[in-house]
Amino acid sequence: MNEILNMQKNNLNSLYQKEVIKNQAAIEKEFQMNEIKDAYAQRREVRHEFQRAARKAQYDEITILRSGELRVDTRNSWANIPGRPVANFKFLGNFPLVSSDGDNGLTVFLLEIAGAEKNIYLNNARVGIGDYLLKKITSCGGVIFANSRNAQIELLRKIWVSVHPIHTDPVIIPTHFGWVEFGKNEFKFVKRGTRLWKEYVEMAK
């Protein structure tokens, strides 16, 4: 009888030990899986941080080629993406307009679109507001190569900053017909039919 009890006791101990070992193995496996998950999460976070830093360090640089073609180079601290065309037009130049009374604030952009020259009249004060510049460019057939409207607006603003300082002497526009002073002691007779300053202001809206 005692032998039977001892055998049962030994069997129970053996089963208990096996269960303990099994539970320990399960706990160790779960611990290892959690470590793997944590390590993966850390690597993923590091990768995301790297990507965020890369985007933050990235910037676009506008280049005007001799042909007038506009290109954008994407740069950051460790890599440069080769330049790519940014628009379907060429930039031929720009110059400021001032009235014979001394008013200013208008700029003319000279563009070439599909082989035709276009004059874009701009109100300097409105260039950085909303999609004003984009509407002015697209109204004459200009296209900005970007994935979204906001990206187009941002690229155009960068183009404006890049090219706006490049201009010749201002062109004086008469404010009325008849004799007009265009410079110190320089008078010219402006005939009817000549475009006046107020018309340029209207075209720049």
User: Residue 157: how many CB atoms within 10 A of its CB?
Assistant: 14
**Domains: count for the chain:** 2
The Cα–Cα gap between 59 and 80 comes to: 10
Residue 40 pLDDT greater than 60, yes or no = no
* pLDDT given at position 190: 96
Residue 74 counted as domain residue:
no
Question: For all residues of the chain together, what is the average pLDDT?
Answer: 80
pTM of the model: 0.67
- If one compares 25 and 146, the residue with the highest pLDDT of the two is 146
- Residue 44 and residue 100 share a domain: no
- Residue 137 and residue 45 share a domain: no
- Residue 169 and residue 111 share a domain: yes
Residue 25 counted as domain residue:
yes
The Cα–Cα gap between 159 and 148 comes to: 17
Choose the final residue of a domain: 11, 38, 57: 57
Residue 102 counted as domain residue:
yes
For residue 147, the enclosing domain spans 89-203
Residue 84 counted as domain residue:
no
- Residue 45 and residue 114 share a domain: no
| Cβ partners under 8 Å of residue 110, min gap 6 | 91, 92, 93, 94, 95, 117, 118, 119, 120
- Residue 134 and residue 53 share a domain: no
Residue 170 counted as domain residue:
yes
- Residue 124 and residue 34 share a domain: no
- Residue 97 and residue 193 share a domain: yes
Residue 50 pLDDT greater than 90, yes or no = no
- Residue 93 and residue 38 share a domain: no
- Residue 93 and residue 162 share a domain: yes
Residue 28 counted as domain residue:
yes
Residue 75 counted as domain residue:
no
- Residue 157 and residue 109 share a domain: yes
- If one compares 33 and 140, the residue with the highest pLDDT of the two is 140
| Cβ partners under 8 Å of residue 125, min gap 6 | 105
The Cα–Cα gap between 51 and 57 comes to: 10
User: Stretch 34-46: mean pLDDT, rounded?
Assistant: 58
- Residue 164 and residue 122 share a domain: yes
- Residue 176 and residue 94 share a domain: yes
* pLDDT given at position 118: 96
* pLDDT given at position 53: 42
